[in-house]
Amino acid sequence: MIKQIQGLIEQMSQELPGVLAAAVVTIEDGMSIAEASNKDDIETAAASAYLASIVKSNAKAISLLADDEEIDDILVTTSQYHFIIRHQPDQPIFIFLMTTRDTWLGKARMLIKNYEKQLEQFSDFLEQHYTV
């Protein structure tokens, strides 16, 4: 199953010209289950570990500020890049996408949502092996 997830992430990373990296990451420990990079100097696995702490922190902050709200995605924008993190509350994983700042953000979000639906077929496997 990991090979199938890896294949989906590699496919996702090729769909938009500005995608630099993509990954499926466990929330509990920040481990990359699958990752792809289109830029040599990106350490997707290391970044994934730090991004897991962002997902956890945002969930805590939102629960304090707006108890009945769920996060759609987390967007971090720098002068050169967009970092989009998408997590479904009932899943032990999140999807991470790094794009150039020139990449149309709406298309990147649609791309993640599309692959999120495809990854749902693995939800039982992910829940059994990567607990929340």
What's 79's domain CATH number? 3.30.450.30
Q: ∠ CA 66-61-130 to the nearest 5 degrees?
A: 110
How far is the CA of 38 from the CAs of 21, 55, 62, 68, 105, in angstroms?
A: 6, 24, 33, 38, 18
- The stretches in the chain having pLDDT less than 70 are 131-132
The string of DSSP letters for 96-124 reads EEEEETTS-HHHHHHHHHHHHHHHGGGHH
pLDDT reported for residue 123: 82
Place of tokens 């500005």: 18
Q: Give me the domain span that covers residue 110.
A: 2-129
pLDDT reported for residue 62: 86
pLDDT reported for residue 131: 67
pLDDT reported for residue 67: 77
Please tell me the total count of domains within the chain: 1
Rounded-to-integer distance, Cα 101 and Cα 98, Å: 9
Q: Is residue 2 helix, strand or coil?
A: helix
